[in-house]
Each structure stands twice: as C-alpha cells, then as structure tokens.
Amino acid sequence: MMSVPILGHYLAEVFFIHKTWLDLVMNPLERLIYLLIDIEPQKSMTGREYAIAVLFSNTAMAILASIDIFSCFGFRASCRSLPTCHRKITFNSSLSDLSLYL
C-alpha cells in the first residue's frame, strides 16, 4: 500500500513526459528494446498497424492461457496442489496471472 503513491506519481510523470528518477536506467533499456524489435519511436502507428498489434498480443495471450488451462501446471503454482481444476476458475486465474507476466 505504501508503494501506491510513489508508483502513481512516477506513472503520472512518465505519462506527462516529465523527467523522472528512473530515466537514467529506463531510457537506455527502452531504446535497446526498440532497437531489438525494430520500432521507430518517433513514428506513429496507423489504425491498421494498431489493429494488427492488438490482434497479435491478444492471440499470444489466448495461446498462453490455453496452454496454461489445458496443462494445468503452467504459470500457477496453486493449480498443482489441487486434485482437479475447474475450467472457469483456471481460465480467470490464467488470464489474471498472464496479465502480470506480459
């Protein structure tokens, strides 16, 4: 709970493009990621590019959730201790856990 005001302030500063105390670390890391996946940060996405990116990320999330659901030993340690996994609980838990990892 104590980290909420600190993290919220940091996110607000980033959103409004103000300098932050993590810029020395995050800016080079961000540039490296952009370089590795061939993104031009100054170029805006078109509607078509955005739609493709959303479909790609949602497809990746669905594939990972399906693997987690049908294997029942994926991202959640709690599922391993249960004798059976209810599909709805597993699905919701998988999506919740995946949103933390992605």
Q: In Å, how far from its chain's centre is CA 46?
A: 22
User: Does pTM surpass 0.75?
Assistant: no
Mean confidence (pLDDT) of the chain:
77
The Cα–Cα gap between 66 and 58 comes to 12
Res. 28 pLDDT band, cuts 50 70 90: very high
- Contact 90/72 with Cβ under 8 angstroms? yes
Question: What is the rounded distance in angstroms from the CA atom of residue 59 to the CA atom of residue 95?
Answer: 12
pLDDT in tens, 58-98: 888 788 777 766 666 555 555 555 556 566 676 677 667 66
Would the pLDDT of 17 be above 60?
yes
